[in-house]
Amino acid sequence: MSLLEDARANRIVARFGRTVAIEWIQPREPDGGWTSYGNFEPGKTQVCLSVGRLIHDDDCVKVLAGSAMLVGDEDVRLSGIIEIPARCVVRIVRLEEDKP
C-alpha cells in the first residue's frame, strides 16, 4: 500500500474504528402460516460470523459496514451495512493486519 493509500485508510479507521469479526446468534426465520402448539418444537439457533468496519457500537446495537470508501478528503461512503442486536453478540474480535 502506498503512503497516500495508507493515510487515506487511516483516516477511515480514525473516523469509524477498526475491522472486526463478530460472532452472533441469529434466531431462525419465522415460519409461514399456522402451527399446532402440540406439534411445535423450538428450532436450533444459528451462530453467524460477520466481518466489517465497526461503525457504531453501544449497549443496544453493533453496526458493521462491509465496505468503506473515502471520496475526496472527507466524504466516507459505506456499503453492506448490517445491524446486530447487542444481546445476540457472542464475541467480537478486533482484526489486525500483520506488518511485513
pLDDT tens-digit map of 51-70:
999 989 999 999 999 988 77
Given a cut of 90, whether residue 92 has pLDDT beyond it is yes
Q: Once rounded to an integer, what is the mean pLDDT over residues 16-37?
A: 84
pTM of the full structure: 0.71
The burial of 63, by beta-carbon neighbours within 10 Å (0-12 exposed, 13-18 middle, 19 or more buried), is given as middle
In a domain, 40, yes or no: no
In a domain, 51, yes or no: yes
Q: Which residue(s) pair with 52 in the sheet?
A: 20
Confidence at residue 64, expressed as pLDDT on a 0 to 100 scale: 94
Domain that holds residue 8: 3-27+47-94
Give just the sign of the alpha carbon dihedral 4, 8, 9, 11: positive
In a domain, 39, yes or no: no
Given a cut of 70, whether residue 3 has pLDDT beyond it is no
Neighbours of 61 (CB within 10 A): 14
C-alpha to C-alpha distance for 91 and 98, rounded to whole angstroms: 22
